Amino acid sequence: MSAAAGTRIEARPSPVISDEVRQTTCYMCACRCGINVHMKDGEVAYIEGNRDHPVNKGVLCGKGSAGIMQHNAPSRLRSPMKRVGPRGSGEFENISWDEALDIAADMLRPIRENNPEKLAFFTGRDQSQSFTSFWAQQFGTPNYAAHGGFCSVNMAAAGIYTMGGAFWEFGQPDWDRAKLFMIFGVAEDHDSNPIKIGLGKLKANGAKVIGVNPIRSGYNAIADEWVGITPGTDGLFILALVHELMKAGKIDLDYLARFTNAPGLINASEGPDKGLLLRDEDGKVLVIDRATGKLTPFDQMGVKPDLNGTLERDGVTHRTVFNEMATRYLEPEYAPEAVAERCGVSADRIKAIAALLAKTAFDEAIEIDQPWTDFRGEKHEKMIGRPVAFHSMRGISAHSNGFQTCRSLHILQIILGSVEVPGGFRFKPPYPKPVEAHPAPHCGVKPLSPLDGPHLGFVRGPEGLALKEDGTPARIDKAFTWENPMSAHGLMHMVISNAHAGDPYKIDTLFMYMANMAWNSSMNTKGTMEMLTDKDENGEYVIPNIIYSDAYSSETVAYADLILPDTTYLERHDCISLLDRPICEADGAADAIRWPVVEPDRDVRGFQSVLCELGAKLDLPAFINEDGSQKWADYADYIQTHQRKPGIGPLAGFRGENGDQGGRGAPNPNQIDAYIENGGFWINHIPDEALYYKPWNKAYQDWAVEIGILDTPMPYLFQLYVEPMRKFQLAAEGHGERQPPEHLRERIKETMDPLPYWYEPFEGTMVDEEEFPIHALTQRPMAMYHSWGTQNAWLRQIHGHNPLYVPTKIWEANGFEDGDWAKVTSHHGEITVPVSHMAALNDNTVWTWNAIGKRKGAWALKEDAPEANKGFLLNHLIHELLPSKGDGMRWANSDPITGQAAWFDLKVRIEKAPPPDQSQPVFPSIKSPVGQGPDDIAWEVGK
Amino acid sequence: MHPAPSVIFFTAFSGLGFGLLAFLGLGMPGLNGWLAFTFYFIAYAFAVGGLLASVAHLANPKNAIKSFSQWRSSWLSREGVLAVVTLIVTAIYAIGRIFFDTSMPALGAVGSALSILTVFSTSMIYTQLKTVPRWNSPTTPFMFVAYSLAGGALLAGQVTLALFTLALYLLIVAAIAQLLNWRVGDQRMLTSETNLGTATGLGNVGVVRQYEPPHSGKNYLLNEMVYVVGRKHARKVRRISFVAAFLIPVLALLAFRDAPHIGGMLAIIFHILGVIGSRWLYFAEARHVVANFYGK
Amino acid sequence: MTTLPSQTDTKLGLVIDLDTCVGCHACVVSCKGWNTQNYGAPLSDKDAYGTPEGTFLNRVHSYEVQPDQGPAQTVHFPKSCLHCEDAPCVTVCPTGASYKRTEDGIVLVNEDDCMGCGLCAWACPYGARELDLMAGVMKKCTLCVDRIYNENLPEEDRVPACVRTCPSGARHFGDLGDPNSDVSKLVAERGGMDLMPELGTKPVNKYLPPRPKDTLDCGVALNPVAEEAKGFLGWLDNALEKM
Ligand SMILES: Nc1nc2c(c(=O)[nH]1)N[C@H]1C(S)=C(S)[C@@H](COP(=O)(O)OP(=O)(O)OC[C@H]3O[C@@H](n4cnc5c(=O)[nH]c(N)nc54)[C@H](O)[C@@H]3O)O[C@H]1N2
Ligand SMILES: Nc1nc2c(c(=O)[nH]1)N[C@H]1C(S)=C(S)[C@@H](COP(=O)(O)OP(=O)(O)OC[C@H]3O[C@@H](n4cnc5c(=O)[nH]c(N)nc54)[C@H](O)[C@@H]3O)O[C@H]1N2
Ligand code: SF4
Ligand code: SF4
Ligand code: SF4
Ligand code: SF4
Ligand code: SF4
Ligand SMILES: [Mo]
């Protein structure tokens, strides 16, 4: 008996893949990779990476490939909605866009007429910050920021103040040439595909990778050496490396002398200038020229700045920055032996790493035959490379000592001469850019008028703080105040608690976009939910109005009064602009667009287009024509026609009437089509002679001016010594007009040290070490994006719940076994969660994946969803304020310099607990405004 | 392995059914007419019922017919083909017995041999799997066939002392086969070269353990192949099933020597319960090497 | 016929570099996306928004390895069908649905023939086969047979979806039967290994072992130029003089 064999696949099958490919930009995370969207019968069938794209070069991460499930997620909002139940209940009524916009305009109009600051507009994980901030500026409120403040502002600010550019996604290791790569505190980062591509290159080239991280997973798993450091101590570890290198003279003296303010002379005279750098009448930093022994402005042709100079004047000895550094970092307190125990890294290991750094940087230096000319006019025949590269992210920045730790790391890079050189760390346009090229923060409010300038920026001293006449904070988040003077990205994590407390003042409307503040992006999640629903004595909500734009049924949706539903990323226009966070590579300037590869099938609109309409309804000057009519029909219209400065607009490519200009040029009415034609992006390569040494490279400076990144050439020195910080210290010492409040004087004197130092993270010093001996961290899973991966049927099968990983020592001490649960307690709260054993983990650290736990009822998930039953957030243990010191005050759980949220300072204790039926705490279920997803799916289109 | 009722039922009852057919083909008992019909009815109910149960295990039964095609390489296919051939051959023999009062001894013998071969090929479906070390041993076919014969003898056994003795002997042989299978199976589990180290190739770097599974939820592999039964629980089921399958039947036969109907009935009922228990264990205790990957 | 070809013209397969895989699951999802849309029935997901159970052809495990000396190591470990030369999954198949191609050694399931008995999955030591719970047919990695020869794709895209997408370049595709192919050279250079060689399946796919870790010689340290900070400044002056 035999049945006929069925149709086997032909030998060389060539099925048709799709009807059409549309190229746009991924938004499953903020990495902004280029994607090819394959369409079948007008539907999205398959998504793959765009090979020509500068960011991902064809590869795509797990989230990107799962875009089809995000785009079709049952959790998508379907219509504008008005709250009908109490806040937090999730009870809504669908309304029309006309009604929604009327409600919003009626809320906002009186605010603008009377007190524009009573609108707090915060935009979370926004990729259109140059536009949303423009809108807020036009409205006139000082209260605008995106998520940078709770994210990684320490990294950004330390980088920009020190080197005029930062890690984050604004720079990259020279992946092709580095021979030694050290990566500190990175699980995934924004530049997720580029880092992976880069690591792949390093591995293929046989380079060595050192991972410094309490947890050995992901990037650290493939590191050749793992330094399982104790959280919060990287600054010490790094400064011990600096100590070793300096002590051995393994530093790039030439580089330090030419390109940094190491030869700058620190004013030692008592008085208001003490500690500032000596300058000439034009404000140029003075150095001692070794050739002549004379005091000379740093930028003169032929000057040989003396790193070790001293200048006697009026009986006082002024010493160079470098001399000061040597004195400080050669101290025994920075010796490997002194820091080893605290860091959890042996002294021998620290020494060996220092030796390897020195060997690679100096004995294995590389040279490229590429002449270039520096800003002094000096010609160099070759480009010398120090092939040691570094990268770092929130692991060192999300601590209350993060700013100084990030600065320490930059000092280490710079003394090795490994920034902007072959094999080292490289900036991506529009960086490098000195602090001077950035705006300072503005807070000048006048009813019915735009704000007097951009909200955010880089303060140069106390005069730049955002304070009112009476010295109280001008901003609701208290950014740019004495509490955190250099808070360059604002403090989104303080908005709700400050607004609730009416401190510094009460607001009327909280307008948020794309931030799940009622859940995973808040510290003290329970408290936050209470603040959002709290009512005053009159029975009115303490925060009177909340408008929110989300695309999905997130936890935060339930807390808004008015919902402006956004489209998915495949249904709207977007621009990834050189004016905010573009897609540049170290080799070129690039920007990109999104465009509706499919039209929405619901009553939703792109949020930016909604702002165009709302702006016009509110008569914001830039949003209306002279006759009062709406200026930009939608965001696409804005993208193509808006000019920041003549010739400079949101998109740099295909400018000019014919679309043949790059960087600068008149608006092009067909610009978006030209982008679509080009695969969704535009790139302009940096000329070869401008590829390295960019801050000092004449050719680069000229190129940057040509394409509109800089207005004039602005070469500058790296700031080993950050003078603006000294200005805050001077104020704290009693100099100057603007004086800090008494209770902050000592802290400012100490923490605003213009040379990096290490101090223990605050939470650790304020809680009892015996009571809370363990560090608790989160990591980003590579296959999930914060809260928004959970609605994705494919991704949630990978990370549907999260255990707390416990190191062997703690595992054994508690007698844990597989399947056990534990109670985890911090000074603020308590959670009961499943535990799991991990050996490749720092002895005093526990951790979990970030943002997997979900509230019941959210994201169109069923009640039994593992995320809402076994999943959990660490956020319940973290408070936005530190425990009380007994002085009646509670300090923010933030970096004292930048206000960066100190997520990773968390200290806990852990004990075995009887397994509850679900992770604790549990919150009541939200009523889903979009119902629940279907049961079974087999996602195939076009067949 | 997941002890799915369908496969337990399949192996248990097809074994009993074909065991009975084997005896009937040898004329034990040599009945005709209605009495023969009753025996054949039971044999067919068991054999065909078992086979149908196995079809319930199929996720796509509409293609079941194709499973007859690969007899040259696949034991499952062979089993299917043999089962059908056996059922046809024994049916012809049975028709002779039931309707025509005739016996075709040669045909009967062929049917009996085919019956045993069918059971053997059933056992080979499991025996051939190197992925399940517990199954991958000659004790598997020995046990399957022994069970089948012992059960068949019990079912067939009615009155004659000769047969009683045969059933007794066969029960003892099957009991030995069972004990051997457990022993060798336990041994195989212990001596299996395969572990997470060889599965990942990382064994020469150090001791390997899973710290995070590839997916947080369940999947087909976990449901089907990563079934973990507690050791204590397994021991208990072993004891119970052994007592039920062998001890009680043997005692019942001996005790009711004078009332063989009662003894036989008791023996059969307990034996079948025992077989089911044993088969449950056969699957539940079997560890598939894929469990290594999941750290189970 | 589910007998195995005695020889195949080429031996196409994957080489997976455990020293480079960061465990990002990109290959997992891209495989899911491609195979949901292409070869055979779509890969389904039961209870997709409750407690989901879906079909995937490629999964990434995460292991820890504790060596005798030094800290534990972490290895992310992707796993899909290894297209074994002696594929037990093929010979057990009663319907002829499972087969190994003579032209390139790819092991496939012809879904039109499969009755969903699951025996092939039992026979596979690697957990490379998953029965699709909605379609009721056996699913496994096809080595993207519908990509690698596909004339509707540009030449450079004629590689498996998982290889094309892997951000760190940890996945390589090629002919392991040709000793001169890039993949064969890589295997030779890096000591590529078989999984569970003791089971005699002769996998075509190879795994490149992680390079030795934590080998930094902790006896090495830099020599100070001087013991005292003052001495350092003296050295500095000299060094600057020489520049
Ligand atoms: N414990 C702990 N907590 C943390 C962190 C941590 O490390 N540990 N990290 C912190 C950091 S750095 C960050 S950045 C935050 C991130 O936290 P959030 O800013 O809250 O980020 P998400 O959860 O990604 O989602 C924000 C919201 O955007 C919505 N959204 C998604 N796509 C769209 C769209 O196209 N349009 C609109 N309008 N909305 C959309 C989502 O539905 C979601 O509600 O979390 C912080 N929280
Ligand atoms: N897939 C995916 N990608 C993302 C995101 C996402 O949610 N998913 N989120 C995006 C966002 S908003 C951000 S801000 C970035 C953040 O990207 P990352 O900076 O990679 O952020 P985290 O995942 O929080 O990882 C922090 C890492 O620092 C380590 N760490 C913690 N404390 C210390 C310490 O004291 N010292 C050292 N050396 N290490 C420490 C932790 O173990 C962890 O590995 O990722 C972005 N990219
Ligand atoms: S890293 Fe992944 S999710 Fe993020 S943009 Fe790129 S492909 Fe999309
Ligand atoms: S895509 Fe590459 S790096 Fe990511 S898990 Fe797969 S093999 Fe590993
Ligand atoms: S890996 Fe498994 S499914 Fe693939 S050929 Fe080998 S035995 Fe068959
Ligand atoms: S499940 Fe399908 S492919 Fe596998 S053995 Fe059964 S019939 Fe063959
Ligand atoms: S080769 Fe194709 S089918 Fe196989 S794992 Fe890779 S993507 Fe999946
Ligand atoms: Mo972030």
Residue A247, pLDDT above cutoff 70: yes
Does one domain contain both A255 and A280? Answer: yes
Q: Which amino acid is at A883?
A: P
Q: Alpha-carbon distance A894 to A902, whole Å?
A: 5
pTM higher than the cut 0.95: yes
Ligand nearest to the CA of residue C144, numbered in listed order: 7
A204 within domain boundaries: yes
Tell me: the pLDDT tens digits for A81-134? 999 999 999 999 999 999 999 999 999 999 999 999 999 999 998 999 999 999
Atom index in ligand 3 nearest the CA of residue A56 equals: 6
- C80 CB within 6 A, ligand 7: yes
Spatial contact of A872 and A459, defined as CB atoms under 8 Å apart:
no
Structure tokens of C123?
Answer: 């026979």
Instruction: Please list the residues that pair with C140 across neighbouring strands.
Output: C129
C129 three-state secondary structure: strand
Residue A3, pLDDT above cutoff 50: no
Query: What distances in angstroms separate CA A92 from CA A84, A285, A610, B149, C91, one per listed residue?
Result: 5, 61, 20, 70, 59
Domain boundaries along the sequence of chain B: 5-201+213-294
Average of per-residue pLDDT across A649-676: 96
Ligand nearest to the CA of residue A48, numbered in listed order: 3
Tell me if chain C has a CB within 8 Å of the CB of A332: no
- The answer to whether C94 contacts B199, with C-beta atoms less than 8 Å apart, is no
More confident residue, A2 or A729: A729
Across A362-371, A469-478, A611-620, B223-232, least confident range: B223-232
- B154: Cα separation from own chain's centroid: 16
Per-residue burial over A125-139, b if 16 or more Cβ lie within 10 Å, else e, is bbbbbbbbbbbbbbb
The CATH code of the domain at B5-201+213-294 is 1.20.1630.10
Residue A685, pLDDT above cutoff 80: yes
Choose among A825, A849, A821: nearest CA to A835: A821
pLDDT at B161: 59
pLDDT at A345: 98
Q: Give the count of beta carbons closer than 10 Å to the beta carbon of residue A737.
A: 7
B296: nearest CA partner in chain A: A818
Average of per-residue pLDDT across A519-535: 96
Share above pLDDT 70 across residues of chain C, in percent, rounded to a whole number: 99
Tell me: the pLDDT tens digits for A405-443? 999 999 999 999 999 999 999 999 999 999 999 999 999
Structure tokens of C71?
Answer: 């800290």
Residue B103 CA to ligand 5 centre (angstroms): 49
- The answer to whether A6 contacts C112, with C-beta atoms less than 8 Å apart, is yes
Assign A1 a pLDDT band (cuts: 50, 70, 90): very low
Does one domain contain both A462 and A543? Answer: yes
- Region for residue A599 given its phi and psi (left: phi exceeds 0; alpha: psi -120 to 50; beta: otherwise): beta
Average of per-residue pLDDT across A202-231: 98
- The answer to whether C165 contacts A795, with C-beta atoms less than 8 Å apart, is no
- The answer to whether A224 contacts C213, with C-beta atoms less than 8 Å apart, is yes
Residue A327, pLDDT above cutoff 60: yes
Tell me the angle at which helices B33-56 and B139-156 cross, rounded to the nearest 10 degrees.
Answer: 140
Share above pLDDT 90 across residues of chain A, in percent, rounded to a whole number: 95
Q: How far apart are the first and last CA of chain C?
A: 78
Instruction: Please list the residues that pair with A40 across neighbouring strands.
Output: A43
Which of A33, A55, A189, A805 should be mutated for ligand 2, with most atoms under 8 A from CB? A189
- C87 CB within 6 A, ligand 5: yes
A697 within domain boundaries: no
Choose among A121, A935, A871: nearest CA to A455: A121
A922 within domain boundaries: no
Instruction: Please list the residues that pair with A517 across neighbouring strands.
Output: none
Does one domain contain both A795 and A810? Answer: yes
Does one domain contain both A632 and A556? Answer: no
Residues from chain B contacting residue C93 (CB–CB below 8 Å): 70, 74, 76
Does one domain contain both A407 and A443? Answer: no
- A905 CB within 6 A, ligand 2: no
Residue C30 CA to ligand 7 centre (angstroms): 8
- A900 CB within 6 A, ligand 1: no
- A697: Cα separation from own chain's centroid: 28
Which of A70, A393, A780, A846 should be mutated for ligand 2, with most atoms under 8 A from CB? A780
Average of per-residue pLDDT across C218-239: 91
Average of per-residue pLDDT across C123-142: 98
> Which ipTM value was assigned to this complex?
0.97
pLDDT at C2: 67
- The answer to whether C198 contacts B198, with C-beta atoms less than 8 Å apart, is yes
pLDDT at A750: 97
Mean pLDDT of chain C: 96
Tell me the angle at which helices B248-255 and B161-191 cross, rounded to the nearest 10 degrees.
Answer: 160
User: Where a domain ends, among A565, A582, A614?
Assistant: A565
Residue C116 CA to ligand 6 centre (angstroms): 5
Tell me if chain A has a CB within 8 Å of the CB of C9: no
Residue A128 CA to ligand 8 centre (angstroms): 15
pLDDT at A4: 45
Domain count for chain A? 4
Q: Give the count of beta carbons closer than 10 Å to the beta carbon of residue B2.
A: 15
CATH number at residue A669: 2.20.25.90
Spatial contact of A480 and A466, defined as CB atoms under 8 Å apart:
yes
Share above pLDDT 70 across residues of chain A, in percent, rounded to a whole number: 99
Cα four-point dihedral sign C175, C177, C178, C183: positive
User: Which domain covers residue A247, as residue numbers?
Assistant: 171-427
Q: Which residues of chain B have pLDDT under 50?
A: 159
Q: Alpha-carbon distance A657 to A670, whole Å?
A: 8
Q: Which residues of B, range 123-142, sit inside 8 Å of C by Cβ?
A: 125, 128-132
Residue nearest to atom 6 of ligand 4 (CA): C27
The CATH code of the domain at C12-241 is 3.30.70.20
A705 within domain boundaries: no
Residue A24, pLDDT above cutoff 60: yes
CA distance B210 to chain A (A): 9
Residue A5, pLDDT above cutoff 70: no
Residue C87, pLDDT above cutoff 80: yes
CATH number at residue A521: 3.40.50.740
A298 phi/psi in degrees, rounded to 5: -60, -25
User: Where a domain ends, among A685, A707, A740?
Assistant: A685
User: Which of C21, C29, C56 lies closest to A783 in CB terms?
Assistant: C29
pLDDT at A887: 74
Does one domain contain both A791 and A875? Answer: yes
- The answer to whether A800 contacts B211, with C-beta atoms less than 8 Å apart, is no
Q: Alpha-carbon distance A184 to A553, whole Å?
A: 35
pLDDT at C243: 83
Q: Alpha-carbon distance A425 to A421, whole Å?
A: 7
Domain boundaries along the sequence of chain C: 12-241
- The answer to whether B221 contacts C121, with C-beta atoms less than 8 Å apart, is yes
Atom index in ligand 1 nearest the CA of residue A878 equals: 1
Assign A2 a pLDDT band (cuts: 50, 70, 90): very low
Average of per-residue pLDDT across A620-642: 97
pLDDT at B28: 86
Interior CA angle at B228 toward B224 and B233, to 5°?
A: 130
User: Which of C112, C153, C240 lies closest to A308 in CB terms?
Assistant: C240
Does one domain contain both A418 and A476? Answer: no
